[in-house]
Amino acid sequence: MTTNTGAWRIPAALIALSLVPSIAGVYRLDQLATNAPVTTENARFFDMPGPVVAHILAAILYCVLGAFQFQPAFRRRRPGWHRAAGRILVAAGLIVAVSGLWMAVFYDLPPVDGVIVEVTRLIVGSVMIVALVLAVVTIRRRDVASHRAWMIRAYALAQGAGTQVFTHLPFAFAGVAPGVGGRAVAMAAGWVLNIVVAEWIIRGRPGFRVLRPA
């Protein structure tokens, strides 16, 4: 019982990591659904709601459903579920990445985001698409190890918003709003930290055997 409980800690932690951005996303959806007052901060979402709605719904599904793939015993007991969930995750992940790229290019983003944040978003979205495509290609070749590695990388990038909650905390503790430079550092740090941890996991570092093949 202890071992089984411990094995669920990583999925639980991943779901918890996505909690704040998920709540923020639900709040955004509520604004759109209830015709909340339009402000300079949210006007772009009311002008073109489709991409942000798709992004939020797909991201919540991707981050929550994807967390269960990090429990090997669950995968072993339900291989059919694992395969079906994997197909859903690839589709949801592509929606997350494509809608993110669309918003970065076509939305009038807040001035504090700046060019660096926009370029970083374009890079992250593009790399996520490549990772998901390679995950599909490698599993079709029965290369399970490479498939797992690419899926972990894609998931790590998608969870960037959760980690960015923490990388913005220094500004919150200081009681100041980040400027263009600070915002760029905090945003990039979230994705960089996630991908570093992902590569650490992929290489089978101690403490992450839960992610190794069954």
Residue 4 has a pLDDT of 58
Residue 44 has a pLDDT of 93
Are the C-beta atoms of residues 56 and 63 closer than 8 Å to each other? no
Rounded to two decimals, the pTM is: 0.89
Burial (Cβ within 10 Å: 0-12, 13-18, ≥19) of residue 190? buried
Rg, C-alpha atoms of the chain: 18
Q: How many CA atoms are closer than 13 Å to the CA of 93, on its beta-carbon side?
A: 32
Residue 214 has a pLDDT of 34
Residue 185 has a pLDDT of 97
Q: How many residues does the chain have?
A: 214
Q: Which helix (H) or strand (E) holds 130?
A: helix 114-140
**How far is residue 182's CA from residue 185's CA, in Å, rounded to a whole number?**
5
Residue 85 has a pLDDT of 93
What does each of the 214 residues of the chain score in pLDDT, given as a tens digit? 344 556 688 899 999 999 999 999 999 999 999 989 999 889 999 999 999 999 999 999 999 999 998 887 777 788 888 899 999 999 999 999 999 999 999 999 888 999 999 999 999 999 999 999 999 999 999 999 999 999 999 999 999 999 999 999 999 999 999 999 999 999 999 999 999 999 999 987 654 444 443 3
Would you state the structure tokens that stand for residue 1, as one six-digit string? 């019982």
**How far is residue 80's CA from residue 141's CA, in Å, rounded to a whole number?**
18
- For 110-113, which contacts have Cβ atoms below 8 Å and span 24 or more sequence positions? 110/41, 111/180, 112/177, 112/178, 112/179, 112/180, 112/183, 113/180, 113/183
Residue 212 has a pLDDT of 46
